[in-house]
Amino acid sequence: MSVTFTDTALPNIIQLKNISQSYDNGKVQIIKDFELLIEDVPDRGQFVVILGPSGCGKSTVLRYIAGLQKPTTGEVYINGKLRTDDDRIGMVFQQYSSFPWLTVLDNVALGLEYKGVSKKERRERAMEAVKIVGLEGHEHKYAQYPSLSGGQLQRVAIARSLLVNNQIILMDEPFGALDTNTRLRMQDFVIKVWEEVQPTIVFITHDISEAVYLADDIFIMGNAPAQFAEHIDVNLPFHRDRSIKRDKNFVELVHYIEDRMMTLNK
């Protein structure tokens, strides 16, 4: 697979420093003195998964990185520089986020349109992204169900994120609304994108087996006000396929994380 639309490569470094988030004039503290550092692995990118109880602040952390929300206090750095509105990072949500009145191609090209890229160039670059996510032949369909399946709609969102910034992709429970078979296929698909495009992916899920299958690193968050309870280096081969789920190390790690998660919810 040739990824000709890639911009000049930069080291993917995401850092959150001294982050706190409070509401109701400080009476409700969601996140306090929170720290996160994600460094790129040269020539392969990075796949980080965040696990944690519902309401602990996982999605809020992704929103900081994406620039959709600013913390009450603290700083967010992208590639060593304080985050600004010029740092455009795509985010794939659990809910389908495509505009149903636009075609697949127009949805994928939307971020480039906001950047002021010419129509000819943005359609060419969008078509490359469409090919990468396996939607060639569907580019002129409207991005809505039942014209496209749930998995295909999420592929549209991933393609759009690749064009916004193919170095960093954020995913907030992107497969949560999918049926089991589609979810398993999408896990394999996102691994393929990671191997071939080599972005840094930050992925939120509640599925422990999914986390172990996808991740280089797993960060487990505790209850609010959130801190990381544990950082786990997933010592499994870089290339993943479903056979690895039967590996003893895979099974033991899933069980370990299950036990760890139960202690957080007591």
Q: What is the pLDDT of residue 5?
A: 39
In a domain, 78, yes or no: no
| Residue ranges making up the domain that contains 220 | 47-56+88-264
In a domain, 194, yes or no: yes
In a domain, 40, yes or no: no
Q: What is the pLDDT of residue 77?
A: 94
Handedness of CA 37, 58, 50, 12 (dihedral sign): negative
For the chain, the domain total comes to: 1
In a domain, 67, yes or no: no
d(CA 156, CA 242): 24
The residue ranges of the chain whose pLDDT is under 50 are 1-9
Vertex 177, ends 236 and 100: CA angle to 5°? Answer: 120
**If you ran DSSP here, which 8-state letter would residue 114 be given?**
H
Q: What is the CATH number of the domain that holds 174?
A: 3.40.50.300
In a domain, 121, yes or no: yes
On whether the CB atoms of residues 193 and 40 are closer than 8 A, the answer is: no
In a domain, 10, yes or no: no
